[in-house]
Structure 1
Amino acid sequence: MSLHPEVARVTARVRERSAAGRRAYLERIRAARLEGPARMGVSCTNLAHAMAASPADDKLAIRQQRVPNIAIVSAYNDMLSAHQPLERYPEIIKRAAREVGCTAQFAGGVPAMCDGVTQGRPGMELSLWSRDIIAQSTAIALSHAVFDAALMLGVCDKIVPGLLIGALAFGHLPVIFVPAGPMTSGLPNLEKAKMRELYAQGKADRGQLLQAEMASYHDAGTCTFYGTANSNQMLMEVMGLHLPGSAFVNPGTPLRDALTAAAARRVCGLTALGADYTPVGEIVDERAIVNAIVGLLATGGSTNHTLHLVAIARTAGIAIDWSDFDALSAVTPLLTRMYPNGQADVNHFHAAGGMGLLIRELLDAGLLHEDVYTVMGQGLRHYANEPWLPEGGTQLAWRAPPAAPADQDVLRTAAEPFDTHAGVRLLQGNLGRAIFKVSAVKPEHRSVTAPVRVFEGQDQVIAAFKAGELARDVIVVVRFQGPRANGMPELHHLTPSLGVLQDQGHRVALVTDGRMSGASGKVPAAIHVSPEAVAGGPLGKLRDGDVVRLDGEAGVLEALVDAAEWSRREAALPAPGAGEHGYGRELFASHRHGCAGAEEGAVSWAA
């Protein structure tokens, strides 16, 4: 199938825009490769330190410098259910590496915080910065220069983007990402969301809410809704950085362990010591980035990736912006319905045909670049397959996915999509540029024109809701929530209250320079508004009672204020010192003050 003309145009535009940056990046990583296998430039003293604690056989292999030594970088902790299974992985990996004559060392751990735990709390203001800290921690792990490739163990929101950014800084190394898989399905998402709304209305107590939440989040593995964590896993497949079909296999199963071991064996064959050298910096090119955007759009994935993909691309010398997302959205069909865009979860998606069927459909529709490099070799068609273990066998194999989706309420073909336009759109107007997740909002709620109520924090919104002050048509504006203001926290804590107002028949929307969770939906929201208010963005000009038009179909975000009056207004400023102390926030002042804007990926390391 020939490539869709718009996909080709966007790719050409990205390639032209990125020419100088990409060329400089490739020159750097190719120069690093020419230095030879990492350990050859390390002194005897350095090398002795690096292998002092290794088993005798591994020491012999490392000192001879003839076989690859693999770095393991892990986000393991047992507070995050998604990362708890990673505890077992290093031993699986080391054993599998030895089977093919290689060695593997645990090179370093990276921090891993849970946005689900910090929602609505001050700790959420560190969440976005954790991505950049993870990237830096990854760089520290790989800086010892004794590794020929790396395996990245991570799953959740900022963790996979951070690991990939860090890996791309060492783009001459082959890298495979190794996920943990989702927990089995628990309380249905619709029931969980309803209990949250009942609690917001005071119709359920804390004990009932906790019981419902525990029935939903109940075991080891990734949360099963299609938020940022599971969007990460989809992206690693579409970009060719997983083994095919790795994303949504449950933890603690023979297939999961087989995939983990296979990733270790595979990465051993991709190093500069062999004939199939495949560095991660060559895999992540303009085509892979465009494929990632299309995958995100076709699945209605997390809006957080309108930040993270920009940051990832930037690390590899590639410049993308929200106009690229918008252009691709216009030609990408919506092929999945998973919560918050539907009631199914990722286990249902996987059973319906999963990533193999999804990628096959997008390839056959000409919406993905097929001629890319992947960890499986050249060609994304490798990923139009699913892994399996033959009955009673232990040898991992791949096979074609089902010819048609097993459940058309969850997964569709490109010929019969849920929608001909994809899940994320760009809004523009005199309030700036913003992201709108169309796929999570019913068509009748995608356009709202109403007076605004302006807030400077989500706690103020909750208080106003409880006092009955928002029981009307209203656009809730929460400003000073951008990266420079307070770290751009997610405002998912507002979803139940605003959802109640919408269910009561009010026309309701949210406008903010902050983020919303990958699990957010239902209520129309213009998020990531740029430029942010603290940087003089026009959200600072809004006053209570101004009428705003938010139109997700037309792509409009504008204050319906007389132009002369609008130009005369001065932007409000945040209260001095707000959100700068407590919960470690004072340690991240340099990140806030020096970061780039949301559309530039909100990166703190290259503003």
Structure 2
Amino acid sequence: MNPAVSAVTDRIIERSRPSRAAYLALIERERETWIGRPSLGCANLAHAYAGTPEDREAMKADAGMNIGIVTAYNDMLSAHAVYYRYPELMKVWAREVGATAQVAGGVPAMCDGVTQGYPGMELSLFSRDTIALSTAIALSHGTFEGAALLGICDKIVPGLLMGALRFGHLPMVLIPGGPMPSGLANKAKAAVRERFATGEATREELLDSEIAAYHGQGTCTFYGTANTNQMMMEVMGLHMPGAAFVNPGTKLRQELTRAAVQKVAGLGWRGDDYRPLGHCVDERAIVNAAVGLLATGGSTNHLLHVPAIARAAGIVIDWEDFDRLSAAVPLIARVYPNGSADVNAFESAGGMPFVIGQLIDGGYLHRDIRTVGGADLRDYASKPVLKDDALAWERVGDSGDETILRPATAPFSPDGGMRILQGNIGRACIKVSAVERDRWIVEAPARVFADQLEVLEAFRQGTLEQDVVVVVRFQGPRANGMPELHKLTPCLGVLQNRGFRVALVTDGRMSGASGKVPCAIHCSPEALLGGAIGLVRDGDMLRVDAVNGTLDALVDPAEWATRESAPAPAPATGMGRELFGMFRGLADEAEKGASAVLAGAGL
């Protein structure tokens, strides 16, 4: 193993020793005392079997695994609309190997692309906790010996795992649906957004552009949080190998889903190949997720999600671990917003099999993890294909396009491009893999806002036409649920295009599509909890320095020490936000995952 990766892994193992031991004891106890079908009362079983009369006799015989399907289907979210027919097909495929399957429950799946910049976005991060709770409810019936989790997008996969890991004695598989075919190129879409921000494009032009980009079923084709989720499931070994980026509606996609159902049916404790989820997701798998994130230039949202997933399995990873890994792990992929290619081009160039093979060969990934789909992670360095309509896997060779994928020995960058910033404003994260090197340090006067809509109004009025560090505070999990501030991307990009030195500092989140503008995000402590971001005033000189890892207000220390924090806005109501007051009150800091349910559970 690469020495830095090995050292971080050891650091996480040592730090997690008590909590991981408690978790493993929990799932062992759950397996031994599981209120499974043989011990359920007859009335209980009758209720469980009543909805699926075609499988009732097989369930009564208890000869094979009953697989619980937890689905995030809805047809408002393009990536999840593909799941419409999955359960009925999965039941057929389960029967082919003597198993049965039932939809155990549904979980909400909201679309950040729809809510971005509007009040509903304040529910987005807490939807992850809601999904975790919904997953736990779905699996609580005690009638399943394994599970299949249907989810893809931003908060859905982390939420499914957070809930499912509390049932970690069960074998489980994540089943993706794949990306939509390529539409309007992402850079062309971004250009229209910037033209609209300056009044050079009409709303009709903008809408036509967006529809041309987001045009069908499947994940969006840029490398944001949804597609970073799929990358992570591959490097953690929780998919069938190579399943991440196969388009929906294809024979190959169908056969991968069939294989996933039939694979999990054979991984239960009754057989000789028991692979419970809680043992698959260990410290090495969590490090693999972080390494994959850094090597591919993935979404900053996973600096929240990876710690939260880890905590659900008794594992503690912090931003210092990410920072140390980032210094050692090479960037070997360029996918929009870190390049011009989309995920379909990434897949054509070699995709995840190429990435995994390169990172294993370089010593950056733990090969010896317990996976769902293979003997070890090396099996995920093979590409799924159809041979005479049967599913097979082939080893990948060299990159099909070195503008998209490069070998680890000749990377785009020697490091992963994620950094931790620390200074008198607090502790924050920054992603620089898509930022030009001469923009890594920005020193400029602050303009302070408590809402992203105020920033957009200032831009429209022309009052941001200068070198500026835009500060948007009271956007943390305790304040308003930590919404993404992606609406700011076009206007900040326009200012930068005009030659100004521009940066963003916020205790909120930026989109998984964070791009060319340097953004110091997840600033902790957040303003509502007395964080120093609440002390910044208009006109203060701020320095965002991704070279040296600092984030400072260049204010006389004596004056800084006497300042009082700005008053917090009143909690917003409407759009159901008031119902999530308990979540806001319990949510812990970003570095721990910004989760209310994990904090409330004492994890």
- TM above 0.5, yes or no, is yes
Paired residues for 1:6-155 under 5 Å: 6-35=4-33, 38-56=36-54, 58-155=55-152
Give the aligned partner of residue 593 of structure 2. 601
Separation of aligned partners in 1, 2:505 and 2:519: 6
Paired residues for 1:322-333 under 5 Å: 322-333=319-330
Partner residue of 2:394 out of 399, 404, 413: 399
Structure 2 residue 286 is the aligned partner of structure 1 residue 289: yes
Give the aligned partner of residue 520 of structure 1. 514
Give the aligned partner of residue 466 of structure 2. 472
- The size of the alignment, in residue pairs, is 599
Give the aligned partner of residue 341 of structure 1. 338
Contact map agreement 2:332 2:408 (CA 8 A) in 1: yes
Separation of aligned partners in 1, 2:374 and 2:398: 26
Structure 2 residue 255 is the aligned partner of structure 1 residue 258: yes
Partner residue of 1:449 out of 443, 450, 455: 443
Over the aligned positions, Cα root-mean-square deviation in angstroms equals 0.9
Amino acid at match of 2:577: R
Separation of aligned partners in 2, 1:400 and 1:363: 14
Separation of aligned partners in 1, 2:374 and 2:79: 28
CA distances 1:134-177 after superposition (whole Å, capped 9, x unpaired): 01000010000000000000110000000011110100010100
Give the aligned partner of residue 195 of structure 2. 198
Amino acid at match of 1:209: L
SS in structure 2 of the partner of residue 83 of structure 1 = helix
CA distances 1:548-581 after superposition (whole Å, capped 9, x unpaired): 1101121111111111111111111212x242x1
Partner residue of 1:182 out of 179, 184, 188: 179
Separation of aligned partners in 1, 2:461 and 2:306: 40
Amino acid at match of 2:537: R
Separation of aligned partners in 2, 1:270 and 1:38: 16
Are residues 377 and 189 of structure 1, via their aligned partners in 2, closer, same or farther at CA, if it must alter by over 3 Å?
closer
CA distances 1:286-314 after superposition (whole Å, capped 9, x unpaired): 00000100000000000000000000000
SS in structure 2 of the partner of residue 202 of structure 1 = coil
Unaligned 5+ segments in structure 2 are none
Structure 2 residue 539 is the aligned partner of structure 1 residue 545: yes
Give the aligned partner of residue 239 of structure 1. 236
Paired residues for 1:328-477 under 5 Å: 328-390=325-387, 393-401=388-396, 403-477=397-471
Separation of aligned partners in 2, 1:350 and 1:606: 35
Separation of aligned partners in 1, 2:591 and 2:425: 15
CA distances 1:240-279 after superposition (whole Å, capped 9, x unpaired): 0000000000000000000011100000000112111100
Separation of aligned partners in 2, 1:379 and 1:407: 27
Separation of aligned partners in 1, 2:294 and 2:575: 35
Give the aligned partner of residue 582 of structure 2. 590
Give the aligned partner of residue 560 of structure 1. 554
CA distances 1:498-519 after superposition (whole Å, capped 9, x unpaired): 0000000000000000000101
SS in structure 1 of the partner of residue 442 of structure 2 = strand
Separation of aligned partners in 1, 2:320 and 2:204: 45
Amino acid at match of 1:423: G
SS in structure 2 of the partner of residue 488 of structure 1 = coil
Contact map agreement 1:356 1:385 (CA 8 A) in 2: yes
Amino acid at match of 1:218: H
Give the aligned partner of residue 567 of structure 2. 573
Q: CA deviation at 1:35?
A: 2.7
SS in structure 1 of the partner of residue 328 of structure 2 = coil
SS in structure 2 of the partner of residue 82 of structure 1 = helix
Contact map agreement 1:92 1:257 (CA 8 A) in 2: no
CA distances 1:210-258 after superposition (whole Å, capped 9, x unpaired): 0000000001111000000000000000000000000000000000000
CA distances 1:33-60 after superposition (whole Å, capped 9, x unpaired): 113682122111100000012134x111
Q: CA deviation at 1:378?
A: 4.0
CA distances 1:457-489 after superposition (whole Å, capped 9, x unpaired): 001000100111000000000000000000000
Amino acid at match of 1:603: S
Separation of aligned partners in 2, 1:600 and 1:578: 23
Partner residue of 1:504 out of 492, 498, 502: 498
Contact map agreement 1:37 1:272 (CA 8 A) in 2: no
TM-score normalised according to structure 2 size: 0.98
Which shifted more, 71-80 or 32-41?
A: 32-41
SS in structure 1 of the partner of residue 433 of structure 2 = helix
SS in structure 1 of the partner of residue 158 of structure 2 = helix
Structure 2 residue 521 is the aligned partner of structure 1 residue 534: no
Separation of aligned partners in 1, 2:438 and 2:4: 28
Contact map agreement 2:34 2:142 (CA 8 A) in 1: no
Contact map agreement 1:510 1:526 (CA 8 A) in 2: yes
Amino acid at match of 2:408: A
Amino acid at match of 2:390: Q
Which shifted more, 423-432 or 191-200?
A: 423-432
Contact map agreement 2:312 2:598 (CA 8 A) in 1: no
Separation of aligned partners in 1, 2:326 and 2:566: 34
Partner residue of 2:310 out of 310, 313, 320: 313
Amino acid at match of 1:131: R
TM-score normalised according to structure 1 size: 0.98
Separation of aligned partners in 2, 1:36 and 1:480: 44
Separation of aligned partners in 2, 1:416 and 1:343: 19
Amino acid at match of 1:396: L
Q: CA deviation at 1:66?
A: 2.4
Q: CA deviation at 1:64?
A: 1.8
Amino acid at match of 1:43: G
SS in structure 2 of the partner of residue 492 of structure 1 = coil
Contact map agreement 1:37 1:273 (CA 8 A) in 2: no
Q: CA deviation at 1:377?
A: 4.2
